């Protein structure tokens, strides 16, 4: 599979050890395809068994999360925290609540997070956590009781200098409030052991918007540097209307693009005149409804109750911001046939390996999530700095730091790809650049 016999050996062993972890194996395979290009020039990678070590999480915590629902019935979920790698800083990464959560999904997310965090240039290691609990349809009290039970175990494994969780799919402001509140009570101290906090208790301005804003800043860098172009006037599709999708859509509009379609689990809305992205945010954040309710606001818009068919719409740029593997080979073929210019990932690993190769083979500009969506965790890093300093930056200050971090990530990925003879291949650039810093730290820190 790989040119390097060392990588083949390590990956074949992992195939056996992690045979029930398809998402994790997918993330590792995609990463190793890039590392294959530099392995000959870096004999220390094999000498120090870096790949064997980097694919093995430093620690995995799995725990029971019992809670009582509104009917007084006892429910049990499974909780996870994967502390993947702390070579360059404390473990850092979000918490996901969704019924699909498995150890494989936690490990793939923790693995990706490690390289993403390295790319930000900030001192953060990689981790991820979550539970197979779905907040959808639960009352506020049920969610609070669940979060408290989850934290009653997790609190002993996290801390401002140890492991700093944040939100992810299914974990937004409400959940973070309940999780942080209980952490604070159990530890009996107020420290920045969580990011994405509310503004009244240590959160950073622009953290809520940061992932989506960063996705657009990254897309702008690609267009500017590779095509001498910009988002202005581009017709855009955004999949997923959660935290990442909503703020990607809002920033895209601010930068002059027209968002013609957005999706959620209930289906997609399509309007050639442009979707009112502020109203979509209102539906999802305040009304907590499905996108079909957009029709009441704008009856001329089209609603299709099948999120999968959103890929048939013709657009210049697609931002997949929903979930892993939402864009497979069939979707990629439609995207190419539609003459799309760029796919810029807002979600983590939304594109399968086959689809990624197909898109890039057909000259579609492709931005991998671990680079394009790094603005969220980068701003989490800025929140950690502000908490340590007991100080807050203004929105303009945070936004400008976020903007320059995204510019730097683009430049790093672009230059790294060029150096290994793959100019324009940002997947290779992101994987290699993210890895090299961790590798150097792992060699320096010894066999641990
Ligand atoms: P949210 O829970 O806020 O939103 C997820 C959205 O996706 C919801 O609108 C949901 O619909 C929708 N959805 C779920 N599955 C599908 C699907 N197959 N097709 C279309 N829509 C779908 O999550 P986030 O926005 O936080 O996360 C989205 C992705 O971005 C994840 O991959 C996450 O790991 C990644 N990410 C998140 C970051 C963050 O800071 N939050 C940072 C970097 C990456 P409905 O509303 O109907 O449930
Ligand atoms: O995937 C991600 O980068 C996130 N969910 C954000 C992590 C963070 O710690 O802010």
Q: What is the pLDDT of residue 275?
A: 98
Sign of the alpha-carbon dihedral angle for 262, 263, 266, 271 = positive
Q: What is the pLDDT of residue 121?
A: 98
Q: What is the pLDDT of residue 309?
A: 96
Structure tokens at 61: 């915590």
Query: Ligand 1, from 93, 169, 212: best to mutate by most atoms within 8 Å of Cβ?
Result: 169
Which ligand gives the minimal distance to the CA of 243?
1
Among candidate residues 282, 300, 283, 304, the one with its CA nearest the CA of residue 237? 304
Which ligand gives the minimal distance to the CA of 324?
1
Among candidate residues 373, 147, 395, 142, the one with its CA nearest the CA of residue 248? 373
Q: What is the pLDDT of residue 57?
A: 98
Q: Atom of ligand 2 at shortest distance to CA of 117? A: 3
**Active-site annotation holds for 128:** yes
Q: What is the pLDDT of residue 340?
A: 98
Catalytic site residue from 107, 128, 138, 197: 128
Among candidate residues 121, 5, 2, 58, the one with its CA nearest the CA of residue 445? 58
Q: Atom of ligand 2 at shortest distance to CA of 124? A: 9
The protein residue whose alpha carbon is closest to atom 8 in ligand 2 is 377
Q: What is the pLDDT of residue 359?
A: 98
Q: What is the pLDDT of residue 109?
A: 99
Task: Find the 259 Cα to ligand 2 centroid distance in Å.
Answer: 24
Residue ranges for the chain with pLDDT beneath 70: none
Q: Are 77 and 153 in contact (CB under 8 A)?
A: no
Distance of CA 216 to the CA centre of its chain: 14
**Entry field: residues in the chain:** 448
Task: Find the 377 Cα to ligand 2 centroid distance in Å.
Answer: 5
> Cα–Cα distances in Å, from 391 out to 202, 203, 204, 293, 436?
9, 11, 10, 41, 33
SS (H, E, C) 245-278: HHHHHHHHHHCCCEEEEEEECCEEEECCCCCCHH
**pLDDT tens-place string over residues 252-280:** 999 999 999 999 999 999 999 999 999 99
> Cα–Cα distances in Å, from 245 out to 75, 169, 393?
31, 11, 25
Q: Are 93 and 165 in contact (CB under 8 A)?
A: yes
Q: Are 447 and 133 in contact (CB under 8 A)?
A: no
Q: Are 349 and 326 in contact (CB under 8 A)?
A: no
Task: Find the 196 Cα to ligand 1 centroid distance in Å.
Answer: 16
CB burial of residue 403 (10 Å; 0-12, 13-18, 19+): middle
How many helices (DSSP H) and strands (DSSP E) are in the chain? 17, 12
DSSP lists the bridge partners of residue 366 as 343
Q: What is the pLDDT of residue 437?
A: 98
Distance of CA 222 to the CA centre of its chain: 19
- pTM metric for this prediction: 0.98
């Amino acid at each position: 599979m790989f040119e390097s016999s060392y990588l083949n050996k390590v990956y074949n062993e992992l195939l056996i050890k992690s045979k029930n972890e398809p998402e994790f194996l997918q993330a590792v395979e995609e990463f190793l395809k890039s590392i294959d290009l530099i392995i000959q020039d870096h004999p220390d990678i094999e000498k120090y068994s870096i790949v064997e070590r980097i694919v093995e999480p430093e620690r995995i915590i799995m725990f029971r999360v019992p809670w009582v629902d509104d009917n007084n019935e006892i429910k049990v979920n499974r909780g996870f925290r994967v502390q993947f790698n702390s070579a360059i800083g404390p473990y850092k990464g979000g918490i996901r609540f969704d019924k699909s959560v498995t150890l494989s999904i936690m490990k793939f997310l923790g693995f990706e997070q490690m390289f993403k965090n390295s790319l930000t240039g900030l001192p953060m290691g990689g981790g991820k956590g979550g539970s197979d609990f779905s907040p959808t349809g639960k009352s506020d009290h049920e969610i609070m009781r669940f979060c408290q039970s989850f934290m009653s175990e997790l609190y002993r494994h996290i801390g401002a200098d140890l492991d700093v969780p944040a939100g992810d799919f299914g974990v937004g402001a409400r959940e973070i409030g309940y999780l942080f509140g209980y952490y604070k009570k159990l530890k009996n101290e107020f420290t920045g052991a969580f990011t994405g906090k509310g503004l009244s208790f240590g959160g950073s301005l622009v953290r809520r918007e940061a992932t989506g804003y960063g996705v657009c800043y990254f897309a702008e860098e690609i267009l500017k540097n590779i095509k001498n172009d910009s988002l202005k006037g581009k017709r855009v599709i955004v999949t997923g209307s959660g935290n990442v999708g909503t703020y990607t859509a809002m920033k895209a509009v601010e930068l002059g693009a027209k968002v013609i379609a957005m999706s959620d689990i209930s289906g997609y809305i399509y309007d050639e005149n442009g979707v009112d992205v502020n109203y979509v945010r209102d539906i999802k954040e305040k009304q907590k409804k499905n996108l079909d309710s957009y029709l009441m606001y704008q009856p001329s818009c089209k609603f299709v109750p099948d999120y999968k068919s959103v890929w048939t719409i013709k657009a210049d740029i697609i931002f997949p911001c929903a979930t892993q593997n939402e864009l497979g080979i069939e979707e990629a073929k439609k995207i190419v046939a539609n003459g799309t210019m760029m796919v810029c990932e807002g979600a983590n690993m939304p594109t399968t390996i086959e689809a990624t190769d197909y898109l890039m083979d057909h000259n579609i500009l492709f931005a991998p999530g671990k680079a394009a969506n790094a603005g969220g965790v980068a701003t989490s890093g800025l929140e950690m700095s502000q908490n340590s300093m007991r100080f807050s930056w203004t929105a303009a200050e945070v936004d400008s730091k976020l903007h320059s971090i995204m510019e730097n990530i683009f430049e790093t990925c672009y230059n790294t790809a060029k150096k290994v003879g793959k100019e324009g291949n940002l997947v290779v650039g992101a994987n290699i650049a993210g890895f090299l810093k961790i590798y150097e730290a792992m060699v320096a820190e010894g066999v641990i």
